[in-house]
Amino acid sequence: MKHRVVITGLGVVAPNGVGIQEFSEAIKAGKSGIEFIPELQNLKFSCQLGGIPKISEAKKKEYFTELQLRNFNSSGILYGVIAGMDALKDAGISPAAKHGEPLWDLGIIFGTGTSGVDKFREAIYKLDDKNVRRLGSTTVAQTMASGISAYLGGMTGAGNMVSTNSSACATGTEAIIMGYDRIVTGQAVQMLCGSCSDSGPYVWGGFDAMKVTTYKHNDDAENASRPMSASASGFVPGSGAGAVLLESLESALKRKATIYAEILGGAVNSGGQRKGGTMTAPNSEAVIQCITKALHYSNIEASEIDYINGHLTATSKDADEIKNWCEALGRRRADFPYINSLKSMTGHCLAASGSIEMVSAVLQLHGGYVFKNINCDDLHPEIAALIGSRSLPRETKKINLKTVVKASFGFGDVNACIIFRKI
């Protein structure tokens, strides 16, 4: 029996808003969370900007004990725990009692690109100083790839599959598809899915060295991230986490849970780093195939798509992405769906991007609006020729959305696409 899958909980930690209410207000208003970071200037970064969520010490204590926070130094796990536990709470699901049975029907797939980079650096310095005993008992948990799912597993008492995936910028979208597959096949009833990414120079430095980040807007942070713009000059690095609680429709109805959307299906593939695909660039044929397969698995027509939540990073690949969408959907200009890019407000949150953007897409579907694209008044001419400007709202627009698609494309030529609908 194939089970229908719905979204009943949301959580988010983003540069422009922590928590669903703050984040929702920010995207409706077109509020940027990108700022100048003096540390990056001191380190002589070309891009001295970034998107870092604001987490107070008091906020940390809402999720972690004093003991857990002792020697804690992993921003990605911090963001992921807050987003994940918020999604669970939003769904109305309580963690298992400390000495009770695990929640056998609840699983977790929560991805990341790197984990505990600052903690790992701290550990290296202590080892260099021959202070191995000072590393602390949480070093492994904070630096292992599955640290985020392990922390969430312990905090929730999840007794089903608890794992971490990692597929660069496609990580979050892929995690949600993996969780969806597990519920569809009846192997789980509820899956907490999402992704997170650390913040700071030790994560962002490699991208700065690759010259894929912008260097032209260090004195104009809010206007620096410019997806689909003719003056885009590279992405602004960001960080954070997004989470969704997936659940079988039967369980959600039985619990009388809030249903944000139904997931219809999705697809994951790779371009094999062939036919123009490389470590850093997507194979367009594979991107198109990923989108068309998602449509096929969802049993819908391309004409039914009302809105696209794009990957759109503010690099030279934005025009290629729009061309791929046009090819995959067979739609152009006045027939093209609404499209926007959250990265104009948050920067590129790397492994966390897919899940944070998924939360923004679900909020728009549930709330009946599309948020405005900021920083693209000078629309890239190739994009203008393909879709015109009607599909790119310049102001947040009320609209009755029904069917939405979210896609992410990552380093290594990997792709993930998911389609969901108002129920």
Mean pLDDT of 377-406: 96
Q: Is the pLDDT of residue 142 over 90?
A: no
Query: Residue 139's pLDDT is what?
Result: 78
Mean pLDDT of 223-231: 98
User: 0.75 cut: is pTM over it?
Assistant: yes
Q: What is the pLDDT of residues 37-85, one digit of tens each?
A: 999 999 999 999 999 999 999 999 999 999 889 888 899 999 999 999 9
Query: Residue 127's pLDDT is what?
Result: 58
Residue 26: enclosing H or E segment and its boundaries? helix 20-29
Q: Is the pLDDT of residue 414 over 60?
A: yes
Mean pLDDT of 187-210: 96
Contacts of 395 (CB under 8 A, 6+ apart): 372
Domain ranges of the chain: 1-423
- Give the distance from CA 257 to its chain's centroid: 24
Res. 115 pLDDT band, cuts 50 70 90: confident
Contacts of 363 (CB under 8 A, 6+ apart): 10, 20, 23, 24, 27
Q: What is the mean pLDDT of the chain?
A: 95
* Assigned architecture for domain 1-423: 3-Layer(aba) Sandwich (3.40)
* Rg of the chain taking only CA atoms, in angstroms: 20
Tokens of 103: 């929640």
Is the separation of the CB atoms in 368 and 385 below 8 Å? Answer: no
Is the separation of the CB atoms in 194 and 112 below 8 Å? Answer: no
Report which of 315, 236, 244 is spatially closest to residue 90, judged by C-alpha positions.
Answer: 244
